[in-house]
Amino acid sequence: MTMRMYADRKEWDLEDIEVRLNQQHVHHMDCEECESDEGYVHIIEKRIKLSGNLDYAQRKRLIEIGEKCPVNKTLLNEIKINTILE
């Protein structure tokens, strides 16, 4: 949604965006690039396909914009869940 709004505002020829996610749950010791030193880590692989008449710079910029979307930011920050029984 964030990439679509940006492309529309710039009047770029973005025809379609396809995003596919793959999630793995691995032990921290099996993840060389992870910061966690205990427990398990969720690894999300994100594949993005941009369709339309876009040059390399436009595609690169759309990916940068996508990294700034609210959902992406939420997933990159620490998440704490407080459960309240009512």
Within-domain flag for 52: yes
CATH number at residue 45: 3.30.300.20
Within-domain flag for 81: no
SS3 58: helix
Q: In which band, very low, low, confident or very high, does the pLDDT at 32 lie, cut at 50, 70 and 90?
A: confident
pLDDT tens string 46-73: 999 999 999 999 999 999 999 999 888 8
Instruction: Yes or no: say if 26 and 40 are a contact pair by the CB < 8 Å rule.
Output: yes
The Cβ of residue 63 has, within 10 Å, a number of other Cβ atoms equal to 13
Within-domain flag for 85: no
Half-sphere exposure of 72 (CA within 13 A, CB side): 14
The two tokens of residue 75 are 């997933």
Q: Work out the angle at residue 60's Cα, subtended by the Cα atoms of residues 59 and 62, and round it to the nearest 5 degrees.
A: 65
Q: In which band, very low, low, confident or very high, does the pLDDT at 76 lie, cut at 50, 70 and 90?
A: confident
